[in-house]
Amino acid sequence: MIQESSNPLRILRTFDRHLHGPCELIVYGRSALALGFDSAPDSFFATMDVDAILPARDLALIESNDDFWRAQAETNAELDASGLYFTHLFEDRQVILRQDWLEHRVALPSFGLVHLRLFRPATIDLMLTKMMRIDPQDRADIEFLLAQKDYDPAELRIALNTARLPPVPEIAEAFAHHREWLLPHLKA
């Protein structure tokens, strides 16, 4: 059950309050797991920040959107004492995703937000984003996503062979490591 008083919602509500106009945001990472799945455990809601993906097609607009950056700065200033922050924004090419990930994004509930419209990547793409480093927490998150029922294992198998990887050797190595672990878990 989604916790209304959670860290991710607190960050996003603060950001929403500082915005002056409409804004779409695609969250990922632990905040996407916390807000995007009813079965998310309590620990997911303790994440101290919100990660977001910026689609390549929107980058120029986002870069020139002073409202976005001002609201982001004011959000971080207001939340500074709490340790919460909102700075981890990634271009989609810097994250492991399917080529057509944007077409599969999932809308999140409104949470009473006025300006913000939230999305998360599809479950398959969220799994891919968790395969960029060899880390026990990321592995646990992949296991959580594997247990969800809103994806097709056959599509996941295809994604593991066609995902778009950033050109960083360590990321390719981590992805191969996770892929090798993951493939036997998929139903034939």
In the complex, the smallest distance separating the C-beta of residue 68 from other proteins, rounded to whole angstroms, is: 10
In the block, which residue shows the tokens 């009473």?
A: 112
Residues at the site binding other proteins, with contacts judged by CB under 8 A: 48-49, 54, 59, 62-63, 69, 72-73, 76, 80, 83, 85, 87-91, 94-95, 132-135, 137, 166, 168-171
Nearest distance from residue 59's CB to other proteins, in Å?
8
Q: Which is nearer to other proteins, 18 or 151 (CB)?
A: 18
Cα–Cα distance, 144 to 127 (Å, whole number): 9
What letter would DSSP give residue 137?
A: H
Residue 80: CB minimum distance to other proteins, A: 7
Which residue's CB is nearer to other proteins, number 146 or number 166? 166
The CA R_g of the chain, rounded to the nearest whole Å, is 16
Return the number of the residue (30 or 151) whose C-beta is nearest other proteins.
30
Q: With contact defined as beta carbons under 8 Å apart, do 116 and 23 qualify?
A: yes
What span, in angstroms and rounded, lies between the C-alpha atoms of 186 and 107?
Answer: 26
